[in-house]
Amino acid sequence: MAQSIEAVTELSRPADRGERLRRFVDTFGPFITVGAILLAWELMARQQIVTPFLLPAMTTVAARIGDDLISGRLLLDVALTLYRAFAGFAIAAVVGVALGLLIARFVTVRWFFDPIVSFALPMPKIALMPIFMLWFGLFDMSKILMVAFSLSFQIVISTWSAAHSVEKELVWSARSLGASDRATLWEVVLPAALPQILTGLQVALPLALIVALVTEMIMGGGGLGDTMLQSARYVDSPGVFAGIVEIGIVGYGCIAAMGLIRKRLLAWHQESSNGGTM
Amino acid sequence: MSAPATAVPGAGAAAPGTGISISRVGYEYRPPRGRPVLALENISLDIKDREFVALLGPSGCGKSTLLYLIGGFMPLQQGSISVNGRIVTAPGPDRGIVFQSFALFPWKTVIQNILYGLEKRGLPREECRRRAQHYIDLVHLRGFEDSYPSQLSGGMKQRVAIARTLATEPGTLLMDEPFGALDSQTRTIMQDELLSIWRRSPMTVIFVTHDVREAVLLADRVAVMTARPGRIKALVDTRFSGAADSAEVVRSREYADAVDHLWTLVREEAVAAGAGGRP
Ligand SMILES: Nc1ncnc2c1ncn2[C@@H]1O[C@H](COP(=O)(O)OP(=O)(O)OP(=O)(O)O)[C@@H](O)[C@H]1O
Ligand SMILES: [Mg+2]
């Protein structure tokens, strides 16, 4: 008996080692990659392969980010940009999801909105920025609405197709259990389509940041985009690079947060229970 | 619960305004792409109040389609269907259905799935809980109340679906191969449960199955459908369902004869459907 247990542990050891290595790579792999890139950056700048103007040293940029952080400017910029991006995103999400569901459920709504959505979807929405500036001014309002407008159509489409592919028996079940048409829409179609709807929102989120940044670059009024463009105007290359790193980190944080929200909302879903074996 | 413990006899005309009356129903699927498929043709069938009818037929002959039409899920194209005197136009809680594909709400736990219909009935919370628990016990799923459907086996999901529909105690029960995913022991247990529930409550049942023995054991009458387009090929009185002990029924001579007779009818159609005999 004791012998056999020993044999089992003996056998499991190499597998254990492989497993431990895998876990190590899983946790620290990204840090290693990022570290290597930062190191290469620093070396390239130090060796003067390119001029400090074209590529300031990583440490210089890091020091700049540190300064911005201490002076409070960084937090203010991040807050402004995120406020505009998220306010626009929220409007687009509410409008887009609601409209997408209604289009999928009611033929009359579809007849009305289908041509509008089909026309607006492929259009580069940013082309309307001058009009938004004329109508809504140069402050937060026009930026937020620009973000909302840029995102809405694709959220409508992704929600629509999500709702459309909900198993019809689910809807019928609800109806035969006594749910009204309206209750069925919000209590059955919405949650059933939620995984796909969230995927659509996850795709739209980076676009919210992009549009917020671009509107800031064009209209000014603070925020990461505005600051970056100012730095470029003053030929302040560390400032520009600091801005790029900052927006990169902010974007990464947003995606990570969205991933957590998804896990939370879809605790019932298979993708959560089998721990993402892909 | 005060209902008599005997089955209503299967003979005699249905009283007007009760039971299910299906008259000259046809149905053609018209997919947006591809050729239309004629699924049902000229189906007429009268089912008495509290009768238990089994529907047999080869795969793809339109059994599910017929149930969907009675359920009111799809608009009727031809003919008419009325349930307890009311023309069917839309789904309603008077007709409970157990889908072939279970159709559980995957974001709800077992007990939440079962509570959904009860809450829609507007029953008080306590009563909802009590009834949900009763039906969970009935399908032997105690201990799985808080599991999500994705954590259950196929047979367990099927039992949740059965409990969810039974819990609302509908006057008409439409079941689409409700025991298809169960092992034979669980199946026998569930058959007995279903029969005893049906005897106790005023319920008309239409039960789709591929299993000839099951059909004969449970039903007052068995309707055999033809290969597609589905028509009613034969209506056979079986009525072992009133008997108290199903184990005894299964051993009887009449049972074996009825199974034999129906088996021949079904096999002809299965061959016609090109599907080959299906046990
Ligand atoms: N949504 C649909 N679109 C087009 N054709 C369909 C659709 N649903 C069913 N059909 C066709 O209608 C016919 C009847 O289908 P139905 O599901 O009612 O058969 P069934 O008797 O329940 O079969 P099974 O025993 O395999 O469940 C089938 O031949 C199928 O090809
Ligand atoms: Mg079927």
Among candidate residues B120, B160, B105, B117, the one with its CA nearest the CA of residue B137? B160
Six-digit token string for B144: 């799985």
**Which chain A residue lies closest to B99 (C-alpha atoms)?**
A169
Among candidate residues B51, B170, B79, B75, the one with its CA nearest the CA of residue B121? B170
Mean pLDDT of B48-71: 93
The contacts of residue A146 (CB under 8 Å, 6+ apart) are A88, A125, A126, A128, A129, A132, A211, A215
Instruction: Name the one residue in this structure whose structure tokens are 């709400």.
Output: B105
- Return the exposure string of A75-107: e unless at least 16 CB atoms fall within 10 Å of the residue's CB, then b: eebbebbbebbbbbbebbbebbbbbbbbbbbee
Mean pLDDT of B44-61: 92
- Which residue in B71, B105, B148 is closest to A170 by CB distance? B105
Mean pLDDT of B63-89: 93
CA dist., res. A45 & res. A63, Å (int): 15
CB contact under 8 A, B103 and A173: yes
pLDDT at position A146: 94
pLDDT at position A150: 94
pLDDT interval class at B46 (50, 70, 90): very high
pLDDT above 50 (res B51):
yes
- Return the exposure string of A154-185: e unless at least 16 CB atoms fall within 10 Å of the residue's CB, then b: bbbbbbbebbeebeebbbbbbbbbbbeeeebb
ipTM of the predicted structure? Answer: 0.87
- Residues of chain A with Cβ-Cβ distance to B90 below 8 Å are 175
Testing the interface with A: which of B105, B110, B112, B118 to mutate, by most A Cβ within 10 A? Answer: B105
Six-digit token string for A49: 């392969």
- For residues A155 and A204, the answer to whether their CB atoms sit within 8 Å is yes
- pLDDT per position as a tens digit, B245-270: 777 777 788 888 888 888 888 888 88
pLDDT at position A208: 94
pLDDT above 70 (res B174):
yes
CB contact under 8 A, A192 and B168: no
Min Cα separation B260/chain A (Å): 34
- For residues B152 and B160, the answer to whether their CB atoms sit within 8 Å is yes
pLDDT interval class at A15 (50, 70, 90): low
Q: How many residue pairs bridge chain A and chain B with CB atoms within 8 Å of each other? A: 72
pLDDT above 50 (res A115):
yes
Mean pLDDT of A99-114: 90
pLDDT above 70 (res B119):
yes
What is the pTM assigned to this prediction? Answer: 0.82
- pLDDT per position as a tens digit, A145-199: 999 999 999 999 999 999 999 999 999 999 999 999 889 999 999 999 999 999 9
pLDDT at position A27: 83
Mean pLDDT computed over every residue of chain A: 86
pLDDT at position B181: 84
pLDDT interval class at B199 (50, 70, 90): confident
Six-digit token string for A62: 């890091």
Ligand 1 contact, B212 CB (< 6 A):
no
Within a 10 A sphere around the Cβ of B22, how many other Cβ atoms?
22
Mean pLDDT computed over every residue of chain B: 86
pLDDT interval class at A13 (50, 70, 90): low
Q: What type of residue sits at position A201?
A: L
A59-277, CATH topology level: MetI-like fold (1.10.3720)
Alpha helical stretches, state H, B97-235: 110-120, 125-138, 154-167, 184-200, 212-218
Question: Does residue B91 sit at the A interface (CB-CB below 8 Å)?
Answer: yes
Chain-centre distance for alpha carbon A26? 22
Q: How far is CA B37 from CA A99, B76, B77, B161, in A?
A: 33, 15, 13, 29
pLDDT above 90 (res B130):
yes
Mean pLDDT of A80-86: 94
Mean pLDDT of B115-132: 92
Testing the interface with A: which of B107, B148, B152 to mutate, by most A Cβ within 10 A? Answer: B107
pLDDT above 80 (res A64):
yes
- pLDDT per position as a tens digit, A204-244: 999 999 999 999 999 888 888 998 898 888 888 888 888 88
β-pair partners for B53: B206, B221
- For residues B255 and B216, the answer to whether their CB atoms sit within 8 Å is yes
Could you state, in order of their start, the residue ranges of all structural domains in chain A? 17-55, 59-277
